[in-house]
Amino acid sequence: NAGVMQNPRHLVRRRGQEARLRCSPMKGHSHVYWYRQLPEEGLKFMVYLQKENIIDESGMPKERFSAEFPKEGPSILRIQQVVRGDSAAYFCASSPRVEPYEQYFGPGTRLTVT
């Protein structure tokens, strides 16, 4: 059973470009979570999704950031018009629908904005 997969592992974008980060959950997992780790800071929750639904986006910046988890395919975290402050490691986690809802993390995507 493959773990949570994220791609790309490293992404370089110039200011103003768009970044798309992909996350494929573990087989059988229907819940996906995105977290961000800014340089020298802790991990912070961004958004929680189930298939075709955003359940909690309380940690998402109000502008330029969006997330989706379509019926088919991976979850996508999209950052429009990136700025240098978006440079960070973005981690995806997935969990099954049953308790204790343990989250399993992917290897992360390291975004660098130049």
Partner 1 sequence: KQEVTQIPAALSVPEGENLVLNCSFTDSAIYNLQWFRQDPGKGLTSLLLIQSSQREQTSGRLNASLDKSSGRSTLYIAASQPGDSATYLCADYNNAGNMLTFGGGTRLMVKP
Applying CB under 8 A, the residues found at the interface with partner 1 are: 31, 33, 35, 42-45, 48, 55-56, 58-59, 91, 93, 99-108, 110
**Closest separation in Å from C-beta 8 to partner 1:** 14
Q: Which two tokens stand for residue 74?
A: 């991976």
**Closest separation in Å from C-beta 68 to partner 1:** 17
Q: Which is nearer to partner 1, 17 or 43 (CB)?
A: 43
**Closest separation in Å from C-beta 35 to partner 1:** 7
Q: Which is nearer to partner 1, 43 or 76 (CB)?
A: 43
Q: Which two tokens stand for residue 29?
A: 């997992």
Write the burial class of residue 62 (CB in 10 Å: 0-12 exposed, 13-18 middle, 19+ buried): exposed
**Closest separation in Å from C-beta 45 to partner 1:** 5
What residues contact 75, with CB distance under 8 A and at least 6 apart?
22, 23, 24, 25, 32, 34, 49, 67, 68, 69, 92
Q: Which is nearer to partner 1, 23 or 113 (CB)?
A: 23
Tell me which residue has tokens 């958004």: 47
Q: Which two tokens stand for residue 45?
A: 């929750």
Q: Which is nearer to partner 1, 33 or 69 (CB)?
A: 33
